[in-house]
Every structure is written in C-alpha cells, then in structure tokens.
Amino acid sequence: MNILVTGGAGFIGSAVVRELIHHTSHHVTNVDKLTYAGNLESLAAIEDSPRYRFVQADIVDAEAMHRVFRECQPDVVMHLAAESHVDRSIDGPATFIQTNVVGTSVLLETARAYWQALKQDDPTKAAGFRFHHVSTDEVYGDLGESEASGVRGEGRSGEALGVRGGGRNGEALGVRGEEPPLTSEALTPHPSPAKPLFTETTPYSPSSPYSASKAGSDHLVRAWQRTFGLPTLVTNCSNNYGPYHFPEKLIPLMILNALAGKPLPVYGDGGQIRDWLYVEDHARALVQVATRGTIGETYNIGGHNEKTNLEVVEAICEILDELVPAEERGVRGEAHIPSQAKRSPLTPHKELITFVTDRPGHDRRYAIDASKIKRELGWHPQETFETGLRKTVAWYLENREWWQRVQDGSYQGERLGVV
Ligand code: NAD
C-alpha cells in the first residue's frame, strides 16, 4: 500500500514512519512542514529506503496537498501533523488554529476530492481508501479535582516545565516561578478518581488552545465522514514518551537537565496524573488502526500507566543514579527541595528536584480506557512504564549528538525535497 503520513518528522510521526519501513512492506510518503518540532535526523535510520519519500510542505497549502496526493496516490492517509505543545498554544494560539483546524480541513477536502476521483478511475482502490486522524485524550478535559485541591495540573505530554515561548534552539530549559505552599493532602500521589476513565464516548471538554484546536479537528473529521461519507478513523491517545522526543517535553527535559546538573522543575506539587505510553507502542497501535480499524470508529489508545509527575521525575533520577557514574554527573545547580516533598530518600539526582509555580488552566488528571482497541484489534502495549522509561533514558545517554544538535539548533540546518 501507499501510505501518506503527515507530520512524519515529528516525535510520533517519525516513530510511525520507522515502524512502517522497518516492519511492513508499505511505501511511505512523509509530508511535513519542518517547523521547530520537525527533525529529519529522527529518520536517519530509514531515509535511504527505496520505499520512503519526503516532501516538505504545509498542510494548510491546498495546492501543495493536491500535488502530494496526486504523486503519492495514497491508499491510507495517517494525519499526525499538528502544533502539539500546550505552553506554545497559550503564548500563540493562532498557529494552532491554523495548522490543527484549518490544516485538517484542507487535508479532508483534498482527500475527499482525491477519493471522489478515485471512485471513477479505480473503484477498487477507492473502496479501500482510509483517512486516519491522530488525536489526543486532552480533548476529553480534566478527570481530576483541581479546584477542590487548590492545585492545578500540567498539560499534555509533560510539556515544558519552565519553558515558554520561542526556544527554537531548546535553550530555555530553565526554572520559572516561586515554590507554592505544599500540604500533605496535595502530596497524595493518586487521589481517588473523580470520574471514570475516558472512553470513546466521553463528551469533549478541552481546556487549552491546543486541546480545543485538536477537538475542533476531531469534529471536522467526523463531520466529513457523516456528511460526505469519507472513510475516516480517529484515535485519541494519552501521553507519549520515548526516543527522539523534543527536549521541551517533561521526560527528555528532566533527563537532559539532570545530565547537566540543572534543577528539575516540577510544576505545583507534582501530583498531576498522566497515563504514559511508550511511543513505539503508540506507533504500532496507529498502524493497526490505520490498516485494520473499522471505518467510522474511534479508538482510545493508552498505556494503563498512571503516574504523578513527581513519580516520573523520581523514576528518571533513580535510573540516572544507576546509569551515570558519579564522576560523569553534571555540576549541581541551585536546587531547592521543600521538606514536605521528601517522599523518598534523596539520591544524587533527586537533589535537583525543584518545585515551581504551576500555570493556570491546567488539567489535574487524564486517564484512558484502552479496552476497545485491545478487544477489537488485539493491540496492547509491549512496554511497561518501567521498561520503557529505562529504554528512553538509555537512548538519551547513547544519542547525545541527536539532542545536542536540537539544543544548538543545527538540526534545522538541512532541508530536503521542497515541493
Ligand atoms: P510533534 O510536535 O513532535 O510533531 C508535529 C510534526 O508536525 C512536526 O514534524 C512538524 O514539523 C509537523 N507540522 C507542524 N505543522 C505543520 C504544518 N502546518 N504542515 C505540515 N507539517 C506540520 O508532535 P507529536 O508529539 O509527534 O504529535 C503528533 C500528533 O499526535 C499530533 O497530532 C498530536 O496532537 C498527537 N498526539 C500527541 C501526543 C503526545 O504525547 N505527544 C499524544 C496523543 C496525540
């Protein structure tokens, strides 16, 4: 099959492209604008494959999209291109509306025209055509009790703690704000759930410009299916982590700060709960849904790994304590740890944990019920949080050149295949 992947130079998109080239015989066209989040170096392992082709283009550009569809002749579209970082959506929502909402509508219209033409030219190929839209569990809103506890949560994917705005070169890995007051109640790691887990029928209630723009794009996809009969599928997934993750997100940020001996900034009390999924497990799930899922259906994807942010950061510290020899540890920053937060004995890296003021409007808890995809497609994650996190930390230790080139901006130096 010919598979058109949008956003294939991003964190999850590159894992999908690697999965398709390494583990299937499909042909892949990757269309990506190469924003700050697009990194072709994440595709070095497959870029020479004769089954892979890259096209630099903006999904908002209808003419370019028509050209890409004409050249690729896709059997399946996997739409991952998006602005994905909550902090950036607060600083500048317009790009999020443009790419996530307008860009998705352009792709849907392009796909519809292509599919209609295919019905005349090649009815068999038209009958098998599928448009898979990749989305987030953030569209469902907040499962927690942020108002009641007086403590606010953190956004999707462990977005940048202490990182705001531009930061194209990944330079702004600093600490922002003051330490909030901590209470023993606030330090309870897993408050009892206020609501059941997110299912495919949970009503949408997005909190941030990012999640609102993704919710808008999800609605568009379902409307194109219902109104025009376009054969679509939607997936909504929990927090991803793993190799090639841009270092503005929680897990890589903490690993790289710890390696540099810088403070590890934890928002609020660190008690915000996220469900973590190893990115390669997500990529496998996406390929299964795209190729075998039932048209018109939505599938939730999650790891059944609910962790507080503080637990995640402490687990990273423990792995680094073990893997990084004492003489190779970074110079210590000005870390400050409130006494109430000492939940476990401090180790060399845990000493760097620093609690910083939370930001407003964030969700306390996300947790996903992924039983449908398991039941209907037989997918389940291969990694536990412990094995996946260990692999991730080891990957960042072994692939310094990749993240150093992100941090110094040189990864943006090369551009290929401009349409
Ligand atoms: P990312 O930010 O790492 O990558 C996004 C990619 O899209 C980049 O390569 C970027 O260059 C490209 N892009 C951005 N705007 C574009 C445009 N206008 N035209 C063409 N390409 C453009 O994001 P990610 O974390 O890999 O997420 C991929 C998708 O998965 C997104 O739709 C996101 O909403 C969704 N998702 C992410 C997570 C997560 O934890 N990261 C979880 C669930 C769902």
Amino acid 344: pLDDT? 55
Q: Provide the β-strand partners of residue 4.
A: 29, 77
- State the Cα–Cα distance between residues 95 and 91, nearest whole angstrom: 10
Secondary structure of 180-208 in the HEC alphabet? CCCCCCCCCCCCCCCCCCECCCCCCCCCC
Q: Measured in Å, how far apart are the chain's first and last C-alpha atoms?
A: 23
Amino acid 143: pLDDT? 83
Task: Give the nearest ligand 1 atom to 58 CA.
Answer: 19
Residue 110 CA to ligand 1 centre (angstroms)? 20
Residue 350 CA to ligand 1 centre (angstroms)? 31
| Catalytic residue numbers, as ranges | 137-138, 210
* CA nearest to 11, candidates 208, 340, 248: 248
pLDDT tens digits for range 306-341: 999 999 999 999 999 999 877 777 654 444 444 444
Map out the domains of the chain with their CATH numbers: 2-412 (3.40.50.720)
Per-residue pLDDT of the chain (419 residues; tens, 9 = 90+): 999 999 999 999 999 999 999 999 999 999 999 999 999 999 999 999 999 999 999 999 999 999 999 999 999 999 999 999 998 999 999 999 999 999 999 999 999 999 999 999 999 999 999 999 999 999 999 887 533 333 333 333 344 343 332 332 333 333 333 333 333 333 333 444 456 899 999 999 999 999 999 999 999 999 999 999 999 999 999 999 999 999 989 999 999 999 999 999 998 889 989 999 999 999 999 999 999 999 999 999 999 899 999 999 999 999 999 998 777 776 544 444 444 444 456 677 888 999 988 766 667 888 899 999 999 999 999 999 999 999 999 999 999 999 999 999 999 875 443 33
Residue 412 CA to ligand 1 centre (angstroms)? 16
Q: Are 299 and 372 in contact (CB under 8 A)?
A: yes
Q: Are strands 306-308 and 273-278 parallel, antiparallel or unpaired?
A: antiparallel
Residue 3 CA to ligand 1 centre (angstroms)? 17
* CA nearest to 26, candidates 54, 50, 42: 50
Amino acid 324: pLDDT? 87
- State the Cα–Cα distance between residues 391 and 93, nearest whole angstrom: 34
Residue whose Cα lies nearest atom 10 of ligand 1: it is: 38
Ligand 1: which of 34, 42, 65, 80 to mutate, most ligand atoms within 8 Å of CB? 80
Cβ atoms within 10 Å of 311's Cβ, excluding its own: 18
Q: Are 110 and 66 in contact (CB under 8 A)?
A: yes
* CA nearest to 363, candidates 283, 244, 275: 275
- State the Cα–Cα distance between residues 123 and 364, nearest whole angstrom: 48
Task: Give the nearest ligand 1 atom to 15 CA.
Answer: 26
The rounded Cα 322 to chain-centroid distance in angstroms is: 27
The rounded Cα 389 to chain-centroid distance in angstroms is: 15
Task: Give the nearest ligand 1 atom to 35 CA.
Answer: 11
Ligand 1: which of 5, 6, 11 to mutate, most ligand atoms within 8 Å of CB? 11
Pocket around ligand 1: residues whose beta carbon is below 6 Å from it? Answer: 6-7, 9-13, 32-35, 37-38, 58-60, 80-84, 99, 103, 134-136, 156-157, 214, 237, 239-240, 246
Amino acid 367: pLDDT? 87
- State the Cα–Cα distance between residues 213 and 89, nearest whole angstrom: 9
Task: Give the nearest ligand 1 atom to 301 CA.
Answer: 43
- State the Cα–Cα distance between residues 360 and 343, nearest whole angstrom: 26
Task: Give the nearest ligand 1 atom to 240 CA.
Answer: 40
Amino acid 264: pLDDT? 95
- State the Cα–Cα distance between residues 105 and 99, nearest whole angstrom: 9
- Taking the model in full, what pTM does it have? 0.87
Residue whose Cα lies nearest atom 4 of ligand 1: it is: 10
Residue whose Cα lies nearest atom 13 of ligand 1: it is: 81
Residue 214 CA to ligand 1 centre (angstroms)? 11
